[in-house]
Amino acid sequence: MKRILLAVTGGIAAYKAIDLTSKLTQVGYDVRVMLTDHAQEFITPLAFQAIGRNTVYTSTFVEENPKEIQHVALGDWADAIIVAPATANTIAKLANGIADDMVTSTLLATETTKFIAPAMNVHMYENNRTQHNMATLRSDGYLFLEPGEGFLACGYVAKGRMEEPLQIVERLNQYFNEIKQLPQYKDSSFAGKRALITAGPTVEELDPVRFLSNRSSGKIGYALAESLAQRGADVTLVSGPTHLTPPKNVSVVQVQSADDMFEAVKSRFTEQDIIFKAAAVSDYAPVEMLEHKLKKQDGDLSVAFRRTPDILKYLGEHKATQYLVGFAAETQEIETYARKKLQHKNADVIIANNVGDRTIGFSSDDNDYTMYYKNGDTMPLGKHKKVELAEHILNSLETRWQ
């Protein structure tokens, strides 16, 4: 699922942005909306929230998540940004690097693809200054959705109408289809295939302030997702809580607990071609999640735990044509346990490492993997950065997994 950030500025054509949000959502885009103060003179955030089912952003000074700088995080999140309608005022500010609201601050802080859909009076549109500003933005890499001719709010029948929402959706579809067909993808066996990756830890809550988790950073799963997307795969990343920036061109499903991750994977499993089970899932969870904080008491404390779903085992038991890649984090007898896991979980390959070595693994940028294949082959990958290991893993699988 591609992620679209829609920036709505203050023109009468802002009402079209509601229809655009609806049409984008209907065809499967994940849409978030930003509104300028002037846009809110014409339309309300509630209209977009009701249609897009996402938070609507209106101010750089309202930070929804204290762990993020919102206007930076939104730009990183988006696969593409559309300014529709784009007023002459907003175009002028963007061309001159002015960042005085949520929209202009976000656009200045992102490197993602940006589309501009101008909408204004014909004389404003044809004004030399406006044309100069648009030329500046084109030279900076902005893509323009040219306005149409028709009846304008000012009474003129001329050029200046915002492009129709349906045409904007078609242009966006065309853009993403062109990306998928880039030459660097054509030789990869993953191009056009569907891949699901789990990454990071899970969090099992005991009470409102305490939980059980592990040291997994999610780095290898995120690196695999990014590399697979670059090779042309349609990638879904099911991620436990991490501090990592979601990879570009990857559909991210955020989960918390082992049960959440199991349901997210289970519901998407049958449509996949290859699955990487890289997450460090909690094997046990508290039987009861307490409604209130557990208070300190005299003596020791015993907590009852239940077994969480074995996701890799479930996938191995239910796979049809899917290729299943599992991970094994061990502290001793690495090969013995990896090969047992390969057999008992019915995986096609297990990628194992020694988490007893604190210089690699969970919180480190480095790791040292060995791949154990179902046919008995063993492939040591050596110690590398995790982003490099992701490439080595996929290079090894390119000619094997099908």
Catalytic, 154? Answer yes
Q: What are phi and psi of 149, to 5 degrees?
A: -100, 145
391: left (phi over 0), alpha (psi -120 to 50) or beta: alpha
Q: What is the dihedral of CA 376, 377, 378, 384, to 10 degrees?
A: -140
Residue 302 Cα to chain centre, angstroms: 39
Catalytic residue among 1, 135, 153, 154: 154
Q: Give the pair of three-digit tokens for residue 90.
A: 């907003």
**Region of residue 160 (left: phi > 0; alpha: psi -120 to 50; beta: else):** left
How far, in Å, CA of 244 to CA of 234, rounded?
A: 20
Measured in degrees and rounded to the nearest 5, phi and psi for residue 357 equal -85, 105
> Binding residue per annotation — 66?
no
The Cα–Cα gap between 273 and 401 comes to 10
312 belongs to an annotated ligand binding site: yes
The response to whether 293 counts as a known ligand-binding position is: yes
- Partnered with residue 35 across adjacent β-strands are 8
The CA dihedral of 234, 235, 236, 238, to the nearest 10 degrees, is 170
Is 341 flagged in the annotation as binding? Answer: yes
- What letter represents residue 321's amino acid? T
CB atoms within 10 A of CB 150: 12
| Residue 165 is assigned to a ligand binding site | no
Integer angstrom CA distances of residue 236 from 71, 196, 306, 397: 24, 5, 29, 18
Q: Is 179 annotated as belonging to a binding site?
A: no
Residue 46 marked as a ligand binder: no
- Report DSSP state, residue 163: P
Annotated binding site: 283, 293, 309-312, 327, 341, 345
Query: What are the catalytic residues?
Result: 154
Annotated binding site for CTP: 283, 293, 309-312, 327, 341, 345
